[in-house]
Structure 1
């Protein structure tokens, strides 16, 4: 990359020395290049933050599922202990009432976790159904909607969004983006990550250094369109680029490259909701140990 930059700089100096461009034009190009570098650093910082938050959300989902399994195991142990107390002749010091209360508390917490997970799954299902019903058959050819681990992924092909090698939104993409924006605005308790992806073909465009730049610029274009054209709250939006390093198919074929050139709109529940669930877990007691 440095060699490419030096070559470009050297070419620019040669062109300047040979009179191909004026000093003013060269300064404008240099300033534009610096601005792009600064924009890329800002986008990359936001993207890294969103990746950490997305990873945290997935971790919280897994933690909730583990807590459900753990609580069920604890419930079985408490029930066995209670049965032992009821069938034993040496119940003396066992507080059966306390065991019953603890079993009931565990049952309530398990049901709370199950209800919350079911509610999240139901909201994701409704969101997905509402989106797919709003899209035409032609639009669905360029849009793929999936729900994975409590997260909604909307994948848009670059053929629909942009011209080849460009990060400017195509006029034909407006109707599809407007439908997606309506869904996003209807579900206000979700954060939205826009993630750009490319194939492995090197980009050769002025002021776009590589596929990292292209993917980040494309994600930024979608974010700004959702904000400026369709009124989505920018505080809920994050733009990031993954370049060619998150393929979903082989780049050895044209079809695989076409699948890899995509922009994903990732809709995730807010992290503070998961933290509230974890904090509501019932405090452990010594009643289980008392009946061993």
Structure 2
């Protein structure tokens, strides 16, 4: 009986040992499977983390590019607005420039018309002088127009004796003809200039050629005023001495050319402006 009991106990221990080892083996297999799954999941997790990091980096780059493009787009929009403003201003400035050019062109045309009228008046004055003076020797009197101004140059031998400032009777006849023309042109002023050669003046009470040239100019002015009723307010007397010669003072012939009295006929400035204003009223030049 005792042996039977011991035998049963031994058999129970053997069976118990066999069951435990089988369970252990199953558990170990399951553990390995779980470990493999864990390792596989870890690998996948790391791969996902890397993909996420890559995606995050790409997202950041895209966000930066998007921000840059938005900024550029806004800048372009602003520039387009500025360009539109500039274009409008440019068009306005261009229009104003064209208007200014048209106004300047009109002014120039009006001035040219006024100058043409002045030249026409001067030409008529020259023709009148030549008509009344007749066939005087060209060496004694010369009429010319330079830069819109009429010059009447009368030789010294026709007006004065040598070293004198008293006007000769023959010269008074010539001055009377000049007065006839200038009296018919009340809108003109004129200046009488005395010119000498460079030979020093040493006779009489005058100091030098300056005095002589001025004295001769005032003598002519007085003749025009007293004998021929030319308005003295229209006349100016001036002496130029020998400083504006027509030729070199190296020969007697050249010195004779330099001894002269010149009458410079000038339109009054207000008359010239009146001609411009009249031109502006002319519909043909608008």
Question: Is the alpha carbon distance of 1:97 and 1:210 closer, same or farther for their aligned partners in structure 2, counting shifts above 3 Å?
Answer: closer
Q: Find the aligned partners of 2:101 and 2:258 in 1 and give their Cα distance.
A: 51
Q: Find the aligned partners of 1:112 and 1:236 in 2 and give their Cα distance.
A: 27
Which residue does 1:197 correspond to in 2? 195
In the superposition, the TM-score normalised over structure 1's length comes to 0.59
Q: Find the aligned partners of 2:129 and 2:257 in 1 and give their Cα distance.
A: 21
Instruction: Compute the RMSD of aligned alpha carbons.
Output: 2.8
Aligned residues of 2:159 and 2:168 also touching (Cα < 8 A): yes
2:198 is paired with a residue of what secondary structure? coil
> 1:269 aligned to 2:277?
no
Shift of 1:104: 4.5
Higher relative contact order (CA 8 A, sep 6+): 1
Q: Find the aligned partners of 2:272 and 2:170 in 1 and give their Cα distance.
A: 38
Counterpart mapping for 1:38-117 below 5 A: 94=91, 102=100, 104-117=102-115
Aligned match for 2:254, one of 229, 253, 256: 256
Shift of 1:103: 5.2
Aligned residues of 2:118 and 2:272 also touching (Cα < 8 A): no
The Cα offsets for residues 164-188 of structure 1, whole Å up to 9 and x where unpaired, read as: 1111110011221111111211222
> 1:147 aligned to 2:145?
yes
Question: Is the alpha carbon distance of 1:138 and 1:270 closer, same or farther for their aligned partners in structure 2, counting shifts above 3 Å?
Answer: closer
Which residue does 2:15 correspond to in 1? none
In the superposition, the TM-score normalised over structure 2's length comes to 0.60
The Cα offsets for residues 181-205 of structure 1, whole Å up to 9 and x where unpaired, read as: 1121122222111000101112222
Q: Find the aligned partners of 2:250 and 2:234 in 1 and give their Cα distance.
A: 36
Question: Is the alpha carbon distance of 1:100 and 1:244 closer, same or farther for their aligned partners in structure 2, counting shifts above 3 Å?
Answer: closer
Question: Is the alpha carbon distance of 1:98 and 1:170 closer, same or farther for their aligned partners in structure 2, counting shifts above 3 Å?
Answer: same
Across the two proteins, how many residue pairs are aligned to each other?
192
Flag structure 2 segments of 5+ consecutive residues without an equivalent: 1-85, 281-286
Shift of 1:154: 0.6
Which residue does 1:212 correspond to in 2? 210
Question: Is the alpha carbon distance of 1:141 and 1:101 closer, same or farther for their aligned partners in structure 2, counting shifts above 3 Å?
Answer: same
Aligned residues of 2:187 and 2:271 also touching (Cα < 8 A): no
Moved more, 187-196 or 95-104: 95-104
| Structure whose alpha-carbon radius of gyration is higher | 2
Which residue does 2:221 correspond to in 1? 223
Flag structure 1 segments of 5+ consecutive residues without an equivalent: 1-89, 283-292
Shift of 1:232: 0.6
Shift of 1:225: 0.4
Aligned residues of 1:197 and 1:242 also touching (Cα < 8 A): yes
